[in-house]
Structure 1
Amino acid sequence: MTREDKIDITTKGLFLGLILFVSTIAFLLISKDMQNLKTVGTFLIPIVICYALVGMLIRWMVYRSALKKESNHLFSGVASYYWVCMIFTVISVCAYFIPQAIRYIVLINAAVLLLVWVLDYLYLKNIAKELNSGLKYHRVTLIEDLLARPQTEDMFMKEIEVYCNKNHLTLEVIKSGIPAKVKMDNTPYLVKLGQYYSMIGTIVYTLEFSSILSSAAGSKN
């Protein structure tokens, strides 16, 4: 885990914890539950710390599942959202056995967490669609999202190989490294490591495939 990853897990985890805490306060205000609002006020600091730790734990779990994607696909990609739904169902069942106020708070937090993940998924899907919308017409640049940042050049080249295998493309490595030069289906590409921020502020790393021939032609014009 790099220093950048640790900062990302901490800051985005704190932000996620803040969202969950605010959703709890909003629910108590809307329901006019003054008794539990007073309880929250009395134990404000411990409660805030707990939400912060929960947020960072969730971010860490997402990070770990991304690292294990090659050996275990049950917790990556679209499958992760099925797990979220399953966990949401389990929480709903367990909530039956806890006090009503806590039950509603847990359900509200679970619903907010699910909403955040769904919105983030739709946002990333839309971004990928926009970035690749001109590919079939121009063949200039292709963006492929990664679940985690490649830590070494070998891991970077492995991601390129995985992409080519997934899309049934032939691969010839001209120059290894970051960036790399490759041929996919006999078309030369410069492959860079890119990144952008998702809707909730998490860093999404990408492979950027730029057609070398197209770039050269564009510079001459």
Structure 2
Amino acid sequence: MSVENRKECGLKGSILGLVLMMSSLLVVSFTGDTAGIVLALPYMPVILAGYLILGVFFWWIHGRTPKEHSLLTGAASSYLVFLVVVAVMTIAAFLTQTVRYMILVNIAVLFVLWLMEYVSLKKIADELNQGMPQGRSALVVDLDEKPATMEAYFHEIEKYCEANHWNLEYIKKEKPALIRINGKKYAVKMGLYYTPIGTIVYTMTFSSANEQD
């Protein structure tokens, strides 16, 4: 992870942590648990630090690559979900009702943010594909970070083609690049977009090109 990505992870993760903490405070205010409020007041700095760390952790998980997410796919994901459910149920038995509500609301907030991001990305992909001339198509690939050099830019193209077992041939090795994938001609351009929660995501767009291009 680059320095820029670490800074973004720290900033956006901290904001996410504050959002989760605010949702928890709203739960406490709605439940009217004054005893819980009085008990928690001396520990507010610790609670705040805990939420900030939790937010950064969630953001770090969110930004990991599919390869790094190997524990969250396949059979491993089933065991992980089972362990998390058992752990949550065990811990919940020792928690007050207000704290249980706080956890449920935090989970709901994370789900809503994920859903907003999914809908936004789907809309962007649909708009890109609809904007292409008939008979042509575009593929948008999210990058872990912005390629700092031309070599890094070409490396991202080669890495993606290799991961999908595509035959790659350069026609013009420049930016934007003109390439052939399995005999078909494509232009590769850099781009970016903002997610609903403010994250900058750098992209490569593979657009099919005519032989005359």
Normalization by structure 1: what TM-score?
0.74
Structure 2 distance, partners of 1:179, 1:83, is 43
Residue ranges of structure 1 left out of the alignment (5+ in a row): 217-221
More helix by share: 1
Q: Are 1:75 and 1:83, in contact at CA under 8 Å, matched by a contact in 2? A: no
Of 144, 151, 157, 1:148 maps to 144
2:72 maps to amino acid: F
Partner of 2:103 in structure 1? 106
In the superposition, relative to structure 1, how do residues 128 and 47 fare at CA in structure 2: closer, same or farther (>3 Å)? same
Kept in 2: contact 1:9–1:56 (CA 8 A): yes
Query: SS in structure 2 opposite 1:200?
Result: coil
In the alignment, which of 138, 156, 169 is matched to residue 172 of structure 1?
A: 169
Q: 1:93 aligns with which of 60, 68, 89?
A: 89
Count how many residue pairs are aligned between Structure 1 and Structure 2.
208
Task: Give the aligned residue type for 1:148.
Answer: D
> Are the counterparts in 2 of residues 171 and 184 from structure 1 also a CA contact under 8 Å?
yes
Identical residues among aligned pairs (%)? 28
Say if 2:61 is the partner of 1:61. yes
In the TM superposition, residue 174 of structure 1 has moved relative to its aligned partner by 1.8
Kindly state the Cα deviation for residue 71 of structure 1 after the two structures are TM-superposed. Answer: 6.9
Contact kept? 2:72, 2:80, Cα under 8 Å:
no
> Which amino acid is 1:206 matched to?
T
Q: CA deviation at 1:9?
A: 0.3
Contact 1:95–1:103 (CA under 8 A) maintained in structure 2: no
The CA RMSD measured in Å over matched residues stands at 3.5
**Partner of 1:43: helix, strand, or coil?**
helix
Cα distance in 1 for residues equivalent to 2:30 and 2:105: 12
CA drift of 1:114 comes to 2.4
Letter in 2 for 1:149: E
**What is aligned with 1:219?**
none
Which residue is equivalent to 2:17?
Answer: 17
Q: 1:131 to 1:49 in 2, by over 3 A?
A: same
Residues 85 and 160 (structure 1), Cα distance of their counterparts in 2 relative to 1, 3 Å cut: same
What does 1:17-96 correspond to in 2, within 5 Å? 17-63=17-63, 65-66=64-65, 69-70=66-67, 73-75=70-72, 89-90=85-86, 92-96=88-92
After superposition, the Cα gap between the structure-2 partners of 1:158 and 1:171, relative to the gap in structure 1 and judged at 3 Å, is closer
Gaps of 5+ in 2: none
Q: Give TM-score scaled by structure 2 length.
A: 0.76
